[in-house]
């Protein structure tokens, strides 16, 4: 868990999740480890709990691919607002088409959406489309890597604000 690593390095750690269960779990794990963290139930598309330029580093813990449609634009805009001018955004996202037949049958390649019971559930854009989306939100991508696995590829991207 990235938040554990940063807390152990004496960074002040904040976390946001839409799930109360996830927030309780994070608080419990931090308490058990003797770490201090600030975890709030909330929506990553609306980070109004936080000040402009409050964070030096924002780590997406595999949340971005869980957003669909305009949620993604709203999230990047909210993150850009709370990220310090020289801060880094680290995105961890599934990308590309599913590789398993069972998942391919639930994938809409035109919209790059993985469906669950016919409802958009995950966004799996090709890497080029993912990077274009991020740069369109006024971020520069300084580094990226793609891990390939048997289900789908997973991209890690380190981004900085393109301008202030």
CATH code, domain carrying 121: 3.40.50.150
What integer pLDDT is reported at residue 64 of this predicted model?
98
Q: How many residues does the chain have?
A: 164
81 with 124, same domain: the answer is yes
75 with 24, same domain: the answer is no
Q: Are 75 and 45 in contact (CB under 8 A)?
A: yes
73 with 95, same domain: the answer is yes
**Tokens for 47?**
């980070």
85 with 143, same domain: the answer is yes
Please tell me the pTM assigned to this model: 0.95
19 with 75, same domain: the answer is no
Q: What is the pLDDT of residues 73-87, one digit of tens each?
A: 999 999 999 999 999
24 with 51, same domain: the answer is no
11 with 79, same domain: the answer is no
Count of structural domains within the chain: 2
79 with 144, same domain: the answer is yes
pLDDT at 32 over 90: yes
How far apart (Å, rounded) are the C-alpha atoms in residues 87 and 160?
6
**What are the φ/ψ torsions at residue 34 (nearest 5 degrees)?**
70, 30
115 with 150, same domain: the answer is yes
* Mean pLDDT, rounded, of the chain: 97
71 with 112, same domain: the answer is yes
Q: What is the pLDDT of residues 134-164, one digit of tens each?
A: 999 999 999 999 999 999 999 999 999 997 5
What integer pLDDT is reported at residue 48 of this predicted model?
97
37 with 72, same domain: the answer is no
100 with 29, same domain: the answer is no
pLDDT band of 1, cuts 50, 70, 90: confident
Q: Are 91 and 159 in contact (CB under 8 A)?
A: yes
Domain that holds residue 90: 44-161
């Amino acid at each position: 868990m990235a938040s554990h690593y940063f807390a152990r390095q004496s960074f002040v750690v904040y976390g946001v999740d839409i799930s109360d269960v996830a927030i309780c779990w994070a608080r419990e794990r931090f308490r058990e480890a003797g770490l201090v963290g600030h975890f709030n139930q909330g929506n990553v598309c609306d980070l109004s709990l936080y000040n402009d330029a409050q964070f030096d580093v924002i780590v997406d813990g595999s949340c971005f691919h869980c957003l669909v449609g305009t949620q993604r634009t709203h999230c990047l805009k909210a993150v850009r607002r709370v990220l310090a001018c020289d801060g880094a955004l680290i995105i961890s996202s599934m990308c590309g088409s599913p590789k398993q037949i069972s998942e391919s049958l639930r994938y809409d390649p035109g919209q790059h959406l993985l469906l669950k019971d016919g409802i958009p559930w995950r966004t799996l854009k090709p890497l080029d489309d993912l990077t274009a989306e991020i740069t369109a939100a006024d971020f520069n991508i300084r580094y990226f890597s793609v891990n390939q696995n048997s289900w789908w590829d997973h991209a890690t991207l380190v981004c900085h604000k393109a301008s202030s």
